[in-house]
DNA sequence: TTGACAACATACTAACTAGTATGTTAATGT
DNA sequence: ACATTAACATACTAGTTAGTATGTTGTCAA
């Protein structure tokens, strides 16, 4: 049984759950829970085979539900894809790449350390799948406007949240005052996508360290010491 | 030999029914020519809609040929995809990103200038399509071994050829002697893919300059002056 | 308790898909 | 000049696809 959390062990449970939990009500029908189950299963399917490469029949077959439930949640396959971006992938980015930075006094260290944790130490089997967001950007952004819009929003969120921490780095005196935080934030997110894309294409496990070293050196250049 | 010099310029180009320039070689059947026509048309289709998003019927419909010709050339859709990578995309990378560097005494300048030419000055409509190689890497690399192998070869070619010019840069005294040319070559190719992916996702035309400036600054750090 | 409706399940369809089977014709060697 | 075959064209198939039509049942307010 594949789930998001089993793949990304560090990913905490996100999103809402059912209303106030009083008595253990044995619900056999729960709209939100069903939506979560579908999106959870579908995430892995789309992640591994692409949006166009996955059929709705495939998804529901891996679910405890049926096609009726699917189309009760999502009017069309595209709408389902939009929900994937907004309700699964976007929160995941925050959880994996932004929230952890809060623990670092120097966000630059946090960015590097997190890259090492989540990319450098990832098993090759995971690296071959790339980045869920980047995959969808490359595949669906030019094909469908609705996708493009939502993927753009997700990317911009990542950039904006990264910049907040870079501003904090500047305020804390780690970052030189003349560096353009917006530029660096864009570059950092670009590097994430580029790293993922590269490691997906190449098989060389040493490639990460090569890329990482370059980024590290760049960070030194823009840092006070 | 396929030499697609300006693929991007022929977004709207019609098929080139070139009458023989010299001897009136009025061939109505030409295996190589047919292969070229199919791959040429198919490249744009796959480029815009993805490999899985394009059907063989779609492709042949945009061709002067039919399905019979297609399957006479390619045993299966996958084999056709492999040919796309090897016969169209790989030569394109060399044409667009490697060969132009020969004209530069300082290859680092050439890399930056070429990025500005082919990415920075590209019309937004083209940027939205991303990079043909990167698109296929993200979409097909985890799905099919044959694709993965050939895409990896193409990427490695790009890296290796880039490194050759970086070594030349070092020999010419432009690059500091202590820099690892292989690392930098990997980073440069990663940056290309990252740039493309980023600009595909975002709509901001200024994003290129932000990314470019960072890369330029990094090049200064590793350069003699 | 009982409608009433939300949350499903099941069965179906029209369109599309990769691939095949088989026919047709242009080129080529002899 | 003609038989052979490579280079196609045409017609078809079995399987898949997104989406729909319609039936069933759990849940809850009154």
Q: What is the pLDDT of residues A183-210, one digit of tens each?
A: 999 999 999 999 999 999 998 989 999 9
Say yes or no: B107 and B163 in one domain. Answer: yes
pLDDT the model gives residue A20: 38
Average pLDDT, chain A: 90
Can you state the angle between helices B145-171 and B132-140, rounded to 10 degrees?
A: 140
Protein contacts on strand D: list nucleotides below 7 Å from a Cβ: 6-11, 16-23, 26-28
Residue ending a domain, among A57, A73, A89, is A73
Residue A139: list chain B partners with CB under 8 A: 50, 135, 138-139
pLDDT in tens, A103-140: 999 999 999 999 999 999 999 999 999 999 999 999 99
In a domain? residue A20: no
Helix (H) or strand (E) holding A71: helix A67-73
A11 or B77: which carries more pLDDT confidence? Answer: B77
CATH number of the domain where residue B69 is located: 1.10.10.60
Residue whose entry in the numeric block shows the structure tokens 């977004």: B11
Is B17 a domain residue?
Answer: no
Q: List the domain range (segments joined by +) for residue B69.
A: 30-73
In this complex, which of A52, A182, A214 lies closest to B53 when CB atoms are compared?
A: A52
Task: Say what the alpha-carbon torsion angle A180, A181, A184, A186 is, to the nearest 10 degrees.
Answer: -110
The answer to whether residue B170 is domain-embedded is: yes
Same domain for A66 and A92, yes or no, is no
Distance from CA of A211 to the nearest CA of B (A): 6
Question: What was the pLDDT predicted at B17?
Answer: 35
What CATH number is attached to the domain comprising A176?
1.10.357.10
Percent of chain A with pLDDT over 70: 88
Q: Does B123 share its domain with B38?
A: no
How high is the mean pLDDT in each 10-residue block of chain B (225 residues)? Answer: 40 35 59 97 98 98 98 98 98 98 98 97 96 97 98 98 98 97 96 96 92 94 91
Same domain, A41 and A63: yes
Percent share of chain A, pLDDT over 90 = 85
The answer to whether residue A205 is domain-embedded is yes
The protein residue nearest nucleotide C9, judged by CA to C1', is: A68
Measuring from the CA of residue A77 to each C1' atom, give the nucleotide at the shortest distance: D18
- For the stretch A19-32, pLDDT in tens is 333 344 458 899 99
Instruction: Say whether pLDDT at A220 is over 70.
Output: yes
Q: Same domain for A205 and A105? A: yes
Whether residue B16 is contained in a domain is answered as no
DSSP B168-225: HHHHTT-B-TTS-HHHHHHHHHHHHHHHHHHHHH---TTHHHHHHHHHHHHHHHTB--
Q: Is B202 part of any domain?
A: yes
Residue A3 banded pLDDT, cuts 50, 70, 90: very low
B200 lies in the same domain as B109: yes
- pLDDT of A26: 59
Q: Are residues B48 and B81 in the same domain?
A: no
What integer pLDDT is reported at residue B26 of this predicted model?
Answer: 56
- One domain for residues A212 and A135: yes
Q: Which of A213, A217, A154, A220 is nearest to A189 (CA)?
A: A154
| For testing contact with chain A, the best of B142, B175, B178, B180 (most A CBs within 10 A) | B142
Statement: the CB of A25 is under 7 Å from strand C: no
The answer to the question of residue A155 being in a domain is yes
Copy the structure tokens of residue B1: 């030999």
Check whether residue A67 and residue A155 sit in a common domain: no
Structural domain includes residue A5: no
Structure tokens at A9: 């062990």
- Do A39 and A123 share a domain, yes or no? no
Residue A11 confidence (pLDDT): 33
Note the CA–C1' distance, A31 to D25, in angstroms.
15
Based on the fold, state whether residues B48 and B142 are members of the same structural domain: no
Per-residue pLDDT, B28 = 85
Number of domains in chain B: 2
Q: What is the pLDDT of residue B192?
A: 97
Q: Round to a whole number and report the distance in Å from the CA of A144 to the C1' of C9.
A: 31
The predicted-structure confidence for A29-71, as pLDDT tens digits, reads as follows: 999 999 999 999 999 999 999 999 999 999 999 999 999 999 9
Same domain, B109 and B171: yes
């Amino acid at each position: 049984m594949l789930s998001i959390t089993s793949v990304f062990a560090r990913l905490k449970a996100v999103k809402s759950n059912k209303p106030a939990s009083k008595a253990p009500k044995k619900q056999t029908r729960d709209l939100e829970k069903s939506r979560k189950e579908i999106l959870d299963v579908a995430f892995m399917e789309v992640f591994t085979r692409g949006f166009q490469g996955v059929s709705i029949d495939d998804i529901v077959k891996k679910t405890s539900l049926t096609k009726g439930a699917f189309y009760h949640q999502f009017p069309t396959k595209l709408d389902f894809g939009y929900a994937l971006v907004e309700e699964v992938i976007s929160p995941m980015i925050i959880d994996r790449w932004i929230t952890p930075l809060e623990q670092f006094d120097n966000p630059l260290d946090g960015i590097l350390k997190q890259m090492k944790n989540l990319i450098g130490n990832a098993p090759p089997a995971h690296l071959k799948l790339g980045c869920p967001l980047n995959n969808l950007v490359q595949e669906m952004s030019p094909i469908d406007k609705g996708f493009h819009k939502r993927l753009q929003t997700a990317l911009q969120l990542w950039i904006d949240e990264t910049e907040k921490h870079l501003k904090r780095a500047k305020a804390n005196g780690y970052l030189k005052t003349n560096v353009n935080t917006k530029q660096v934030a864009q570059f950092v997110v670009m590097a994430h996508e580029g790293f993922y894309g590269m490691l997906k294409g190449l098989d060389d496990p040493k490639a990460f360290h090569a890329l990482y070293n370059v980024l590290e050196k760049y960070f030194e250049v823009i840092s006070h010491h």
